[in-house]
Amino acid sequence: MDTMGDNTTFDAAFLDGIDPRIVERICATLQCDRRDIVDVAPVSAGLTNKSFRFSCAGEAYIYRHPGVGSDALINRTSEAYALGIARKLGLDSTFVHEDPIEGWKISRFIPGCVEFDYGDEAQVDAAMELIRRLHRSGETSPWSLDFHEEALRILDMLEQASYPIPDGFSELRATIDEAAAFLARERGEKVFCHNDFYGPNILVKDGRLQLIDWEYAAMGDYGCDLGNFIAQTPEYSLDDCTRLFDSYFQRPATPAEARHCLACAAVVGFYWYVWSMFQEMQGNPMGEWQDIWRRAAQRFGAQVLPSYRCDPALRARRMSRKEFDRLVARAEAGKASEDELQALEPYRAKRAVLLAAGFGSRLLPITATTPKPLVRVHGVRIIDRLIDALRAVGIEEIYVVRGYLKDEFDQLLPAYPMLRFIDNPLYDSTNNISSAAAAAGCFENAYVFESDLLLANPGLVTKYQFESNYLAIPVPATEDWCFDADEKGSITRIAKGSDKPCWQMVGLSFWTKEDGARLAADIPAVFAQGGDCAQIFWDDVALVHRADAYDVHVRECSFDDIVEIDTFAELQAIDPAYAAEGD
């Protein structure tokens, strides 16, 4: 807090009772002597930090010392960076210096300030001009703040400390989780935000406003600054919110914009409510503020969810990876709501194609009478492990493309009557693109397996997948098939062998509904070109021949997860039961 009103009590002995290092910091920053520090008085305003006022060389200052536990919540390097930006933009003239490591700060004290008045439309408009100037400045920060994500991080700390979570909290969290999921799908503009933008942090003097306390400033959703403004006052009505939004946008806010900002208010209120529990655990209870924040989360969450749930365009919009991971975690823990499960439905794996037509000549003599996928390893057919992993996540639509000794696959039907066989009569005259062409209409929301993979980790087959991908193993070099990928994990090249770090290919992929629909047309089209195109691996369709139409990612696994048995010697090494057959 860089200003104070009546919440100051003078203590002549105060300076003698503080840590001498604080005096040294002041002297070093202001280039003064200890004797120059006068008129020292503690400041009792502010929710967490410990501050005092002092004068030096005729000018008044505030020294801010970080409160207990603040290091767990605040990035002081980010704050110091933000203060520099605020000073440059003319939003905060009080900043003098902050130590980005220890977090202490010296600011100019502005006398004669009055409290910000939420009921004064002129002040509200001026406050909106301040925050709009920040948002439109084009300034950026290396740091970002996601209020929902941070709230969950603090909750984890509370749970680890066995903090008694209040009754009814789980229902509120479910509301906020859902609101946050819709917010993530809206992808509100990311700008440089103050992130604690409310009355006590706005200095008002002679009609001029300044914005102080930049502890939480970082890149974020623009709506969270407006959400802070309305969530941290108990008096703001929906009409007040509407006028506020119109003032910010300098035009009537659209219904979608208003809903977005109200949802931000719900999430922000939830964050500060959780934050207040952490402060209480640290011995610093927030009193009535805790109820203000809780009510904001409840009120605005209940306000926006009915509209979100009835918005088909938003429900159909692709979610972010972070939202996907969060919802999958909730689904796996059995905590996802029906709406959350419905949001995940477009990402659910619905079917699988097992490419099992090849001869497997390198596995002779055993493949003379048994197709490679039906070879038993430790008593279990190789293909059984794949089918079992698929069924474990609810996939019952399973296609097996067969060719060599095709009738042998009928032995699977007693155990797996749901299997659907697709015959490939071209298996012995073409590469596996012919098998993919035979099953090309089955690739939407589908796993595609090379059926000779020994799956040691069935957890690689999951119920939901975010994007089209291939399993791959990071290696320093390889003589096997491999991928190059960019910094986002998108595959940029497929090749046989690399002497540089790369991703060794594993023959297990997943294809989204959109990519699967494209493959249904592209695989037969490429195969129909004949000639060399009849002898390619089917993977080349999306990764080479039609690469511009696909964005396929690597999905990391390890050599312990999955093994491709290429030779009879490798089979003998894995399963000693075959050792005698090689003698």
Query: Looking at the predicted structure, is the pLDDT value of residue 73 above 90?
Result: no
Contact 512, 468 (CB under 8 A): yes
Per-residue HEC secondary structure of 511-535 comes to ECHHHHHHHHHHHHHHHCCCHHHHH
Q: How confident is the model over 488-509, as pLDDT tens digits? A: 999 999 999 999 999 999 999 9
Per-residue pLDDT tens digits for 258-298: 999 999 999 999 999 999 999 999 998 999 999 999 999 99
DSSP 8-state symbol, 217 = -
Helix count and strand count (H, E) for the chain: 17, 22
Distance of CA 218 to the CA centre of its chain: 16
Reported confidence tier of residue 481, pLDDT bands at 50, 70, 90: very high
**What pLDDT shows up at residue 159?**
93
| pLDDT of amino acid 3 | 41
pLDDT tier for residue 17 given thresholds of 50, 70 and 90:
low
Question: Could you report the per-residue pLDDT of 376-409, keeping only the tens digit for each?
Answer: 999 999 999 999 999 999 999 999 999 999 999 9
pLDDT of residue 185: 84
Arithmetic mean of pLDDT, 516-520: 95
Residue 243, beta-bridge partner list: none
Q: Given CA atoms 24, 26, 29, 35 in this order, what sign does their dihedral have? A: negative
Q: Is the pLDDT at 192 greater than 50, yes or no?
A: yes
Q: Which of helix, strand or coil describes residue 378?
A: coil
Q: Decide if 118 contacts 241 (C-beta within 8 A).
A: no
Amino acid letter at 29? T
Domain limits, CATH 3.90.550.10, in the chain: 350-578
CA angle 320, 444, 467 (to 5 degrees): 25
Residue 7 has pLDDT above 50, yes or no: no
Indicate the pLDDT class of residue 68, thresholds 50, 70 and 90: low
Q: Is the pLDDT of residue 236 over 80?
A: yes
Average pLDDT over residues 204-213: 94
Confidence of residue 473 (pLDDT cuts 50, 70, 90): very high
Domain range 124-310, CATH class = alpha beta
Using CA atoms, how far residue 445 sits from 395, 448, 521, 527, in Å, is 11, 10, 15, 22
pLDDT digits (tens, 9 = 90+) for 312-360: 888 778 888 988 998 999 899 998 888 789 889 999 999 999 999 998 8
Q: What amino acid occupies position 247?
A: S
Distance CA 230, CA 282 (A): 27
Q: 292: which DSSP letter?
A: H
pLDDT at 14 (0 to 100): 61
Handedness of CA 172, 177, 178, 180 (dihedral sign): positive
Proportion of the chain above pLDDT 70, given as a percent: 94
Task: Give me the pLDDT at residue 12, please.
Answer: 44
Question: For residue 540, what are its two tokens?
Answer: 């080349």
Domain with CATH 3.30.200.20 in the chain: 7-108
CATH number corresponding to 350-578: 3.90.550.10
As a whole number of angstroms, the distance between CA 393 and CA 396 comes to: 9
Neighbours of 239 (CB within 10 A): 8
Q: Are 434 and 524 in contact, with CB atoms under 8 Å apart?
A: no
Reduced to 3 states (helix: H, G, I; strand: E, B; else coil), residue 19 is coil
**pLDDT at position 516:** 96
Tell me what pLDDT residue 326 has.
Answer: 86
Indicate if the pLDDT at residue 67 is higher than 80: no
Mean pLDDT score, 404-428: 97
Distances (CA, A) of 443 to 306, 351, 382, 435: 35, 8, 22, 12
Average pLDDT, the chain: 91
Note the Cα 371 to chain centre separation in Å. 44
What are the residue ranges of CATH 3.90.1200.10 in the chain?
Answer: 124-310
pLDDT at 565: 85
Determine contact, residues 383/412, Cβ cutoff 8 Å.
Answer: yes
**CATH number of the domain located at residue range(s) 7-108 in this protein:** 3.30.200.20
Task: Give me the percent of the chain exceeding a pLDDT of 90.
Answer: 75
| pLDDT (0 to 100) of residue 70 | 63
